[in-house]
Structure formats: structure tokens, C-alpha cells
């Protein structure tokens, strides 16, 4: 093993400098490859979109609106936290909203909060959550008033399409493109109230 003085002298030469540069470059490549390999099981699970379970009374309200037992406008006075909880129930399929009554009501009465939650799911949701978010975004056609909300929905759907193309997710890409076409047609029609 060479002593410290020999190593220092060696590093002062051009050959030593090139060796140090090569070692640094190889180390960077190993770290980058390690990050790419470890990403699916070390990094992504820590940032996944986690939604808390719905508390009993809120779940009941969501189920009643979804089944038609309770009028849709009964969710008008819900807080942002409660709307987020109902969104979580929809995105994780823990609320049965087969006829989309609850989702349509949330779009109608809480579109800002609902769109923010969809954006969060687009960024950090898993595959099933993203697929469900695109399906929910498809329900927005005809229910969002105002050019700003419609353009936000179109922009978000474009994000879903781009992400699906980048990741090679054919199923999500096809669904997203279909929803995007619907939103673009609606944008061309405009809002009769404007």
C-alpha cells in the first residue's frame, strides 16, 4: 500500500489527474445507474399519493349521494378536507359511484378543489389512481363552467397524455387521448353563459 506522500505526488501528475477524473466519472455513472435501478422500490413508494380512509359519516354521505338517496346539492357546504376525503374514496375505488353521481356533484359544486386533487394524482398517483383520475376528468365535459376551468381540465389531460407517452403506458394514453378530444371539442363550443 503506497503512503500518503506517494499518492499526493502521483495525483499532481497529468496521469494522476486523468485517473482521478476517470474515477469520478465512473462513480457518477454507478450512482446514476443505482438510482435508476432503485427508483421503483426505494423512491417512488415514498412519494405515492396516499389518501386517508374516509371517516364513517363522510363515507355515508358519499354513498348516499352516489346512490341517489341524498340530493347532489347536499355536498355544497362540505369543507375542503371533506371534499378531499370524498375524492380519495373515488380515486381509490373505496366509494361505489357506478353512475358517477358523486363525481359529477363534486365537479359541479367543488370544481377548484377537485381539479387540484386531480393535478396531485397526475403527479404522484400510482397507475390505477391515474387511470381513475383520467376517467373522472372525462366526467368534467359539460360540467365545468368558465373558460378558465375548462382550459385547466384540457391542460391537465394533456399532461396525462404526455406522461403516458413518455412511460409507454398504452392504456392510459388511449383513455387520456379520448378524454382530451372531448375536452377540446367542448373548448371550441364555448360556454353559452359567457
Residue 194 three-state SS: coil
Residue 85 three-state SS: helix
pLDDT for 22 equals: 94
Distance CA 176, CA 26 (A): 40
> Are 31 and 75 in the same domain?
no
> Are 105 and 83 in the same domain?
yes
Say if CB 46 and CB 22 are below 8 A apart: no
> Are 166 and 74 in the same domain?
yes
> Are 90 and 159 in the same domain?
yes
> Are 38 and 61 in the same domain?
no
194 occurs within a structural domain? no
Instruction: Collect the ranges in the chain with pLDDT lower than 50.
Output: 192-194
> Are 17 and 103 in the same domain?
no
> Are 10 and 74 in the same domain?
no
Say if CB 112 and CB 84 are below 8 A apart: no
> Are 123 and 70 in the same domain?
yes
What domain count does the chain have?
2
> Are 79 and 105 in the same domain?
yes
pLDDT for 192 equals: 46
134 occurs within a structural domain? yes
77 occurs within a structural domain? yes
> Are 62 and 157 in the same domain?
yes
> Are 114 and 70 in the same domain?
yes
| Cα dist from 116 to 12, 49, 71, 139, whole Å | 56, 13, 24, 15
| Secondary structure in 3-state letters for 18-29 | HHHHHHHHHHHH
Residues 6+ apart with CB under 8 A from 166: none
83 occurs within a structural domain? yes
pLDDT for 26 equals: 96
Q: What is the pLDDT of residues 87-106, one digit of tens each?
A: 888 888 788 888 888 888 88
pLDDT for 140 equals: 76
> Are 12 and 92 in the same domain?
no
Domain extent at residue 122? 56-189
Amino acid at each position: 500500500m503506497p503512503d500518503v506522500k506517494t499518492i499526493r505526488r502521483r495525483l499532481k501528475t497529468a496521469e494522476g489527474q486523468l485517473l482521478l477524473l476517470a474515477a469520478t466519472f465512473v462513480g457518477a455513472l454507478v450512482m446514476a445507474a443505482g438510482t435508476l435501478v432503485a427508483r421503483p422500490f426505494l423512491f417512488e413508494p415514498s412519494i405515492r399519493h396516499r389518501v386517508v380512509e374516509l371517516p364513517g359519516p363522510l363515507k355515508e354521505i358519499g354513498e348516499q349521494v352516489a346512490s341517489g338517496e341524498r340530493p347532489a346539492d347536499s355536498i355544497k357546504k362540505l369543507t375542503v378536507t371533506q371534499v378531499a376525503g370524498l375524492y380519495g374514496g373515488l380515486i381509490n375505488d373505496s366509494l361505489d359511484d357506478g353512475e358517477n353521481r358523486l363525481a359529477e356533484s363534486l365537479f359541479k359544486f367543488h370544481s377548484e378543489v377537485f381539479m387540484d386533487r386531480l393535478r396531485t394524482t397526475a403527479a404522484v398517483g400510482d397507475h390505477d389512481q391515474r387511470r381513475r383520475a383520467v376517467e373522472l376528468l372525462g366526467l368534467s365535459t359539460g360540467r365545468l363552467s368558465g373558460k378558465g376551468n375548462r382550459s385547466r381540465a384540457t391542460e391537465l389531460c394533456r399532461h396525462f397524455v404526455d406522461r403516458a407517452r413518455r412511460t409507454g403506458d398504452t392504456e392510459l394514453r388511449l383513455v387520456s387521448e379520448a378524454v382530451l378530444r372531448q375536452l377540446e371539442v367542448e373548448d371550441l363550443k364555448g360556454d353559452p353563459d359567457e
